[in-house]
Amino acid sequence: MRTGVWLVGGRGSVAVTSMVGAVALRAGLAEPTGCVTELPPLRHPQLPQLADLVFGGHDVIATPILKKAEALADAGVLPGRLVTALQPELAALDAEVRPAPRGATQAETAALITADIDEFRRRHELGRVVVVNVSSTEPAAEPHEAHAALDVLREALRGPVPVLPPSSLYAYAAFTAGCSFVDFTPSTGARLPALSQLAHERGVPYAGHDGKTGETLVKSVLAPMFAMRALDVRSWSGANLLGGGDGANLSQPAPNAAKAASKQRVLAETLGYTPQGDTRIEYVEDLGEFKTAWDLITFRGFLGTAMRMEFSWHGCDSALAAPLVLDLVRLTAAAHRAGRSGPLPELAFFFKDPLGDVEHGLTAQFDALVRMVEGLA
């Protein structure tokens, strides 16, 4: 039975790259490079096949998917010949990504979202649907008393004033529709007690936050290296230069702060102390869909000898994120099918700011992931 993927931000770079990739893999036109669930220790019959994924979603923008895919090809993210070869499939996907609905109250908006997802599930006869947030990063949400309990939240959603940030409203709608939810962004998403309650009530799992695609991925192996060698990390400073829509958004103070905090967490948790240093995010339009991160690490060895390491990472976020989105859909759907509900801390491998009290070293996270997959019935 096929599995649905409902993409919040379905016309953005990550979403379109994910869809182009899934369609290309199905057509035998590409290799699953970057797809973790295709590695031997993670291949498992309980995971839905890549070919069985069906895509839909919401977006506030209306750019045709084919046009976006062509722009991504011009930007070096997708091979032009692939986009040309898949024109009919990409054009067909356009009907599946609908305008993001907007009701008079948040309760109404949630109902409209739920209805769209339900209709998508029925029409494609899908076994289950995974809702994935790949929209832009929100500013950190204002606390509200309605976040603490589901009944208070339900009441508050009916009022005229919004009480949930958009990512959390999507989690609410997904859970209400009996769907699992993955937050690939640093936004609030399901991280509210009321939503956790709802997920357990509806028996659906969720995962997040903030796909680990670049600098933090490197940190999650270098920080354990310093720790395992008992070296004393004194400072870790980073500059993140981003083009693309994400860069323009993240260079705004509020989303920047949300993202930067998420990026430094791995250090404190892996090293056991917090070295000096910040991560700055800057928007550099000329980088387009690519991103350059530079980090300087100063550390002390035996008897205090001062040493240092620098690295530069020149990556394409969409090309790194898209296969992980497909992985997360397969793993979350399989967990849902296996009866899991609530947070999935075993998926920490994929995230900068994982749910639960988990290891931050990448290898420990990979091992946890393998054990989770092996445990699927």
DSSP track, 225-259: HHHHTT-EEEEEEEEEEE-HHHHHHHTSHHHHHHH
Q: Beta 306-316 vs 3-8: how paired, if at all?
A: unpaired
- Report in angstroms how near the CB of residue 140 gets to its own copies at its nearest: 21
CB nearer its own copies, residue 95 or residue 302 = 302
What is the closest distance, in whole angstroms, from the C-beta atom of residue 77 to its own copies in the complex? 6
Q: In the bound complex, what is the minimum distance in angstroms from residue 185's beta carbon to its own copies? A: 19
Question: Shortest gap between Cβ of 1 and its own copies (angstroms)?
Answer: 26
> What is the sign, positive or negative, of the torsion defined by CA atoms of 198, 180, 12, 92?
negative
Calculate helix-pair angle for 166-176, 193-202, nearest 10 degrees. 20
Fill in the DSSP letter of residue 101.
Answer: P
Which residue shows structure tokens 């590695």?
39
Nearer to its own copies, 167 or 270 (CB): 270
Q: How far is the CB of 360 from its own copies (least distance, A)?
A: 12
Task: Give min distance, CB of 320 to its own copies, in A.
Answer: 5
Nearer to its own copies, 114 or 298 (CB): 298
* Residue among 194 and 358 whose Cβ is closer to its own copies: 358
- Whichever of 79 and 162 has its CB closer to its own copies, that residue is 79
Task: Please name which of 2, 121, 131 lies closest in space to residue 58, comparing C-alpha atoms.
Answer: 131
Place of tokens 């958009």: 166
- Between β-strands 205-208 and 279-283, what pairing exists: parallel, antiparallel or unpaired? unpaired
Q: How far is the CB of 349 from its own copies (least distance, A)?
A: 8
Is 102 or 314 the residue whose CB approaches its own copies more closely?
314
| Nearer residue to its own copies within complex by CB, 47 or 222 | 222
3-state secondary structure of 211: strand
Q: Give the other-Cβ count within 10 Å of 161's Cβ.
A: 8
Nearest approach in angstroms of CB 93 to its own copies is: 16
Nearer to its own copies, 364 or 376 (CB): 364
Query: Alpha-carbon distance 270 to 224, whole Å?
Result: 6
What is the residue-wise DSSP string for 120-151?
HHHHHT-SEEEEEE-SPPPPPPPP-GGGG-HH
Record the tokens describing residue 174, joined without a space: 């997904």
The least CB distance from residue 151 to its own copies, in Å, is 42
Q: Which is nearer to its own copies, 80 or 193 (CB)?
A: 80
**Sheet-wide strand order for 205-208:** 97-99, 53-59, 3-8, 128-133, 180-183, 205-208, 342-343
- Determine contact, residues 92/154, Cβ cutoff 8 Å: no
